[in-house]
Amino acid sequence: MDKVWVLAEQSAGSPSAIALELLSKARDLAQQVEAITYGAGGQLAAATLGEYGATKVFDAGDLGDSLPGPKLAAAIAALAASEGAPGAILVGMTYDGRDVAARLSARLDRPLLTNVVGLAKEDDSLVTEHAIFGATKVLKARFTGEGPGIFVVRAKSFAAEPSSSGVPETAALDLPDAGATDAAKVKGRHAEEREGPALDEAPVVVSGGRGLGSAENYALIEELAKLLKGAAGASRAIVDAGWVPYSHQVGQTGKTVKPTVYIACGISGATQHMVGMKGAKNIVAINKDQDAPIFSIADLGVVGDVHKVLPKLIEAVKSRS
């Protein structure tokens, strides 16, 4: 494989963690690793992208009030036509990454593989790994048709490691008119306030599930998370129930987390949840049902009532400091 493209998301000049993970992986796959970036600060991000292996950075610049999907897919399709298509296009499984990959797939009429957690060269083709059935099985797959293959990769699948490569060449990426597909416009952006570290970067994640009994009891999760300098997570059940915002969700549909310690409180361990936290170094589970699936992967399982254990644990941590 001669060339791999990586869609590298960045914010104000800082590449996203997954962009650097993808670039690091791309170095194993091809000699020529080229990044495609967008948004204000792309020029600034180029240096870091180069550090992680990009030999060339195409910068689409600020997209204004457009959503990234339509314009970037049109631009990448045009780039493939003018520069020659790469063997593979790697995209992060993020809100925007999915949109870009989906539209690009339809534009190029190429299939895509999503939820990729592993990628390796085998005989001249790329073989993907996917965690299925609640990560109890690993499925390997590959494309059989003409490239480029579009791979949509879950966060934290690969380690981000800087390389010794030099300063990348940079080029402006032209944004073609995407017509009616680009008609959705962003009228306002809202950042939710967050105390402490981001959920997917925190060394400690304390998560709550249906076993908490009520939305009010989520305060216990937040308090313990804060005391441990960690982040508060949630199962899909209580996000669906409206107890906490979607941004707290850990699992298949939410965030993938790999903290030093994951503390699951009142979470039974649905497969959809386990996919998102199974990679934690250590897992502590508190659940009153001794048959809860979460105990099968917990390093320390406490069969007990979260309403009793959590307040005592909070007090114990407090009195320690």
By CB under 8 A, what part of segment 50-109 binds other proteins? 67, 69-70, 73, 93-95, 98-99, 101-103, 105-107, 109
**N residues, the chain:** 321
Contact set for other proteins, span 104-133 (CB under 8 A): 105-107, 109-115, 127, 131-133
Can you tell me whether residue 199 is helix, strand or coil?
coil
Q: Which amino acid is at 20?
A: L
**Residue 28 Cβ vs other proteins, minimum distance, rounded to whole Å:** 18
Query: CB under 8 Å to 170, separation ≥6 — which residues?
Result: 43, 46, 56, 57, 58, 59
Give 3's contacts (C-beta < 8 A, 6+ positions apart). 30, 31, 32, 33, 34, 84, 86, 87
41: left (phi over 0), alpha (psi -120 to 50) or beta: left
Under rule CB under 8 A, residue 20 binds other proteins:
no
Query: Which residue's entry shows tokens 């009520």?
Result: 214
Does position 264 bind other proteins by CB under 8 A?
Answer: no
Q: Which is nearer to other proteins, 46 or 202 (CB)?
A: 202
Give CA–CA dist 304/301, Å, rounded: 9
Residue 137: is it exposed, middle or buried by C-beta count within 10 angstroms (0-12/13-18/19+)? exposed
Which is closer to other proteins, CB of 56 or CB of 110?
110
Chosen residue from 26, 35, 89, 286 binding other proteins by CB under 8 A? 286
User: What residues does 128 pair with on adjacent strands?
Assistant: 119, 141
The amino acid present at 58, given as its one-letter code, is F
Of positions 57, 152, 221, 232, contacts other proteins by CB under 8 A: 152
* Binding of residue 197 to other proteins (CB under 8 A): no
Task: Provide the mask over 227-246, with x wherever binding to other proteins is found by CB under 8 A and - wherever it is not.
Answer: -x-x-----x--xxxx---x
The binder of other proteins chosen from 28, 81, 121, 136 (CB under 8 A): 136
Instruction: Closer to other proteins by CB, 31 or 282: give it.
Output: 282
Query: How many other β-carbons are positioned within 10 Å of the β-carbon of residue 120?
Result: 13
Applying the rule CB under 8 A, the residues between 287 and 316 that interact with other proteins are 290, 295-305, 308-309, 312-313, 315-316
Is 8 among the residues that bind other proteins (CB under 8 A)?
no
| C-beta closer to other proteins: residue 2 or 193 | 193
Binding mask of the shown chain, residues 199 to 228, with x at each position contacting other proteins by CB under 8 A? ----xx-----------------------x
For position 318 contacting other proteins by CB under 8 A, the verdict is: no
Assess 167 for contact with other proteins (CB under 8 A): no
Q: Does 247 participate in binding other proteins (rule CB under 8 A)?
A: yes
Select 69 or 86, whichever has its Cβ closest to other proteins. Answer: 69
The least CB distance from residue 25 to other proteins, in Å, is 18
**DSSP letter, residue 174:** P
As given in the structure block, the two tokens for residue 10 are 């960045």
Q: Quick one: angle between helices 95-108 and 68-83, nearest 10?
A: 50
Report the distance separating Cα 99 and Cα 169, nearest Å.
27
Q: Which is nearer to other proteins, 165 or 176 (CB)?
A: 176
